[in-house]
A and B are shown apart, each in its own frame.
Chain A
Amino acid sequence: MNAKSLILKDVVKTFELPTIQRDATVAAAIRMMMENNRWSLLVPRRNKTDAYGIVTKKDLITKVVAEGKDPARVKVKDVMSKPLVILTNLSLDLRWVAKAMANSEVSTIVVFDKGDFYGYVTEGCILEGMYNALRRAKLEQGVDFVSC
């Protein structure tokens, strides 16, 4: 990594995820992902002591498509991850964000800033952040960055 390493705050995205009910089918989830152009959906909780769930494209691919199941029959609640994986330290080095993803085998982490919801970080955000840092470093050296 270069001298100034990236931190979580540099790559986190502050958008709201679309929500899907836990009893909806996987087919509906896929449609909602396509329509919103987001690859993760939040599953709301039923009451105050319940946990939020999340369903991502990886869940759908590994647990439904790869298993040969019918997306119209499988419910979202059977493939979602629950409870959410969270990070609360916005100044965490990007390396540890990636490590947290690897440890818990999820592709979307919810980020909180001092107890308040802040945004999401996905594996795409991490790659994007690394790419932008690389491009900045090249530009500073005066080299035109050629993307492959």
Chain B
Amino acid sequence: MELRDIVSDSRHVTIKSSATVSDALVAMIENKTDFLLIDRDEPNDAHGIVTRWDLVEGPIARGLDLATTSVMEYARKPLVVMNNLDLDIRWVAKKMANEGVSKIAVFDGENFLGFISDVDVLKAAASKVRKTKGTKK
């Protein structure tokens, strides 16, 4: 299975870099998503990303005041990107492990295709197992 088979859709929610952790929490819950893309401030700036895990592990676990803590302190910036759609998902998983992230932005040339998450990789691996089992029977 290759990277192009698991890129699902480019749906994502964006917040401003000036947002607080509580803004981010509200945006995540209301949009039923587990990550947010953080907009850049100027053209030379990088996009950032913050996941549910970043918020739980950081400000929430430390008992910080969510309304005053800036989301940027716990965001990952710049994004981890991949642009080779022929890559086996094994290498996608390896990339996630190397970089310690769960979301990777996928580009085809200059077009943004979407984010792949650890769940997408897991689903792909599971369907592969099912397929091989089916052929044996």
- Measuring CB to CB, which residues of chain A are less than 8 angstroms from any residue of chain B? 5, 7, 48-51, 81-83, 85-89, 91-93, 96, 99-100, 103-104, 112, 114-115
Contact = CB atoms under 8 A, between A and B. Distances in A.
A115 B46 contact: no
Interface string B97-109: 0110000000111
B78 interface: yes
B65 to A, nearest CB: 26
B98 A81 contact: yes
What DSSP secondary structure best describes chain A's contact surface? loop
B107 A88 contact: yes
Contacts of A96: 45-46, 77-78
B81 A91 contact: no
Contacts of A91: 43-44
B93 to A, nearest CB: 10
A50 B110 contact: no
Contacts of A87: 78, 81
A91 B81 CA distance: 15
Nearest to A53: B91
B109 A49 contact: no
B94 A114 contact: no
B45 A93 contact: yes
Interface string B61-82: 0000000000000001110111
Contacts of A85: 98-99
Given A83-B87, A115-B83, A115-B109, A93 B46 contact: yes
Among A5, A86, A89, A99, the most chain B Cβ lie within 10 Å of the Cβ of A89
B82 A86 contact: yes
B83 A99 contact: no
B86 A48 contact: yes
Contacts of B99: 85, 103-104
Given A49-B88, A51-B87, A103 B76 contact: yes
Contacts of A93: 44-46
B95 interface: yes
Contacts of A50: 87-88, 91
Contacts of B84: 51
A49 B2 contact: yes
B74 to A, nearest CB: 14
